[in-house]
Chains A and B, each alone.
Chain A
Amino acid sequence: MWDQGPSLSGMSEAIRAQGLVKRYGKVTALDGVDISVPTGTVLGLLGPNGAGKTTVVRILATLLRPDAGEAQVAGVDVLTDPAGVRRKIGLSGQYAAVDEYLTGFENLDMIGRLYHLGRRASRVRARELLAQFSLDEAADRPARTYSGGMRRRLDLAGALVADPPVLFLDEPTTGLDPRGRAEMWEIIQTLVSGGTTLLLTTQYLEEADLLADKIVVIDHGRIIASGTSDELKRQVGGERLDITVSDGNRLTEARELLEPLGTGPATHDHQRRTVLLPVTGGATVLIEALRRLDAVGLRLDDVGLRRPTLDDVFMILTGHGAADPADVDVRRRQVVR
Chain B
Amino acid sequence: MTLRIPHVIADAHVVAKRNIIKIKRVPDLLVFTTLSPIMFVLLFSYVFGGAIDQAGGGAAYREFLIAGIFAQTVIFGATITGAGLADDVKKGIIDRFRSLPMAPSAVLTGRTLSDVVNNVIVLVVMSLTGLLVGWRIRGSVLEALAGFGLLLIFAYSVSWVMAWIGMLVPSPEVVNNASFIVIFPMTFVANTFVPLSTLPAPLRRFAEWNPVSSVTQSARELFGNIPANTPEPTVWPLQHAAAYTLIWSVLILAIAVPVANAQYRVSTSR
- Interface residues, chain A, with chain B CB atoms under 8 Å away: 61-65, 81, 83-84, 86-87, 89-91, 93, 95-97, 99-102, 106, 110-111, 113-116, 142, 158, 336-337
Contact B96 A91 (CB under 8 A): yes
Contact A158 B96 (CB under 8 A): yes
The answer to whether B2 has its CB under 8 Å from any CB of chain A is: yes
Contact B92 A97 (CB under 8 A): yes
By Cβ-Cβ distance, the 4 closest A-B pairs, closest first, are: A97-B92, A97-B96, A91-B99, A86-B101
- As a 0/1 sequence over residues 87 to 130 of chain B, the CB contacts with chain A under 8 angstroms (1 = contact) are 00001110111111110000000000000000000000000000
Apart from the given pairs A106-B18, A110-B18, A114-B101, 14 other A-B contacts in the complex at a CB distance below 8 Å: A62-B98, A81-B1, A86-B99, A87-B101, A91-B95, A96-B92, A97-B95, A97-B96, A99-B93, A111-B100, A113-B11, A115-B100, A115-B102, A116-B7
Contact B18 A99 (CB under 8 A): yes
Contact B96 A106 (CB under 8 A): no
Contact B95 A86 (CB under 8 A): no
The answer to whether B201 has its CB under 8 Å from any CB of chain A is: no
User: Interface-forming stretch among B20-28, B35-43, B147-155, B161-169?
Assistant: B20-28
With both beta carbons as reference points, the residue of chain A lying nearest to B26 in the complex is identified as A101
Q: Which residues of B contact A81 (CB under 8 A)?
A: 1
Contact A101 B22 (CB under 8 A): yes
Interface size on B, residues (CB 8 A): 29
Q: How many A-B residue pairs have CB under 8 A?
A: 78
User: Chain B at the A interface: mostly helix, strand, loop or mixed?
Assistant: helix
Q: How far is the CA of A115 from the CA of B3 in the complex (A)?
A: 12
Q: Which residues of A contact B10 (CB under 8 A)?
A: 113, 116
Minimum CB–CB distance for B139 against chain A, Å: 40
With both beta carbons as reference points, the residue of chain B lying nearest to A81 in the complex is identified as B1
Q: Which residues of A contact B1 (CB under 8 A)?
A: 81, 83
Q: Which residues of B contact A91 (CB under 8 A)?
A: 95-96, 99
Minimum CB–CB distance for A54 against chain B, Å: 11
Partner of B92, one of A95, A102, A336: A95
Contact A86 B18 (CB under 8 A): no
Q: How far is the CA of A142 from the CA of B22 in the complex (A)?
A: 10
Q: How far is the CA of A220 from the CA of B111 in the complex (A)?
A: 38
Q: Which residues of B contact A337 (CB under 8 A)?
A: 170
Once A64-B269, A64-B270 are accepted as A-B contacts, the answer to whether A93 and B96 lie under 8 Å apart by CB is yes
Once A64-B270, A101-B26, A102-B21 are accepted as A-B contacts, the answer to whether A114 and B92 lie under 8 Å apart by CB is no
Contact B18 A102 (CB under 8 A): yes
